[in-house]
């Protein structure tokens, strides 16, 4: 169980809204993929350096590199899941959108889920 993200409070009781199970893991993945390494002072290696690829030309090599970055970040910083597969969907590439599709299994319950993380690329970097 953890805090909801972004942190929210109950108006009546003033307590922090909490999330658990699959919702907690999905929010943790959103945070992990949105954080640049170095942003967290006490854990400087935490994050996934997707912002570094923002202006890179979108090639097969770049897409494989993004997939590896995501998989490595999850391996090190989200021990509650096992990654079953990562797919980089480029259907919206000409609108500047790459969808990172993550299929995973929650180890505690052996339940399978998927998550789609939208990653925006610079329009002029499409080859």
Cis bond before residue 61 (omega within 30° of 0): no
**CA-atom Rg of the chain in angstroms:** 16
| pLDDT greater than 50 at residue 124 | no
The total number of structural domains that make up the chain: 1
Rounded Cα gap, residues 117 and 85, in angstroms = 14
Q: Give the CATH number, domain containing residue 42.
A: 3.10.450.40
| pLDDT greater than 80 at residue 49 | yes
Give the range of the structural domain holding residue 61, as residue numbers without chain letter.
2-125
Confidence of residue 94 (pLDDT cuts 50, 70, 90): confident
Confidence of residue 118 (pLDDT cuts 50, 70, 90): very high
């Amino acid at each position: 169980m953890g805090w909801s993200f972004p942190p929210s409070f109950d108006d009546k009781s003033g307590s922090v809204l909490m999330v658990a199970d699959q919702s907690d893991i999905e929010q943790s993945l959103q945070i992990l993929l949105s954080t640049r390494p170095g942003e967290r002072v006490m854990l400087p290696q935490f994050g996934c350096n997707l912002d570094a690829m923002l202006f890179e030309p979108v090639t097969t090599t770049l897409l494989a590199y993004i997939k590896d970055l995501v998989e490595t970040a999850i391996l090190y910083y989200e021990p509650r899941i096992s990654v079953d597969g990562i797919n980089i969907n480029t259907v919206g590439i000409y609108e500047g959108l790459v969808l990172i599709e993550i299929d995973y299994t929650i180890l505690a319950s052996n339940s399978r889920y998927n998550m789609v993380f939208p990653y925006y690329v610079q329009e002029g970097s499409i080859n």
